[in-house]
Amino acid sequence: MFMVHVTGSIIVVVGSVLLVMGYVTSEAMVSQPHIGHYFDATIWYLITGITGILAGSILMMLETRN
């Protein structure tokens, strides 16, 4: 049970870092309005970050039965 919670916590932290990276790169795009679209990496950072936060949260809420 302990390892599931630790793994979930690590996934939440990694997801948060990816989400922040995606947010920062999306804000950098605002300073360049002539481009008008996000890079593929930005979208993947945002999607992966949100998915990581959700998956890690679910893992931390799980109760393993022994």
**Does residue 17 sit within a domain?**
yes
**Does residue 52 sit within a domain?**
yes
The count of structural domains within the chain is 1
Per-residue pLDDT at 64: 60
**Does residue 39 sit within a domain?**
yes
Domain range for 6:
2-61
Using a CB cutoff of 8 Å and minimum separation of 24, what contacts does 45-49 make?
45/18, 45/19, 45/21, 46/18, 46/19, 46/22, 48/15, 48/18, 48/22, 49/15, 49/16, 49/17, 49/18, 49/19, 49/20, 49/21, 49/22
Distance CA 27, CA 44 (A): 15
Per-residue pLDDT at 38: 65
From first to last of its 66 residues, the chain has per-residue pLDDT tens of 688 889 999 999 999 999 999 888 877 665 555 555 667 788 889 999 999 999 999 998 887 655
**Does residue 66 sit within a domain?**
no
Rg, Å, the chain Cα set: 16
Say if pTM beats, i.e. exceeds, 0.75.
yes
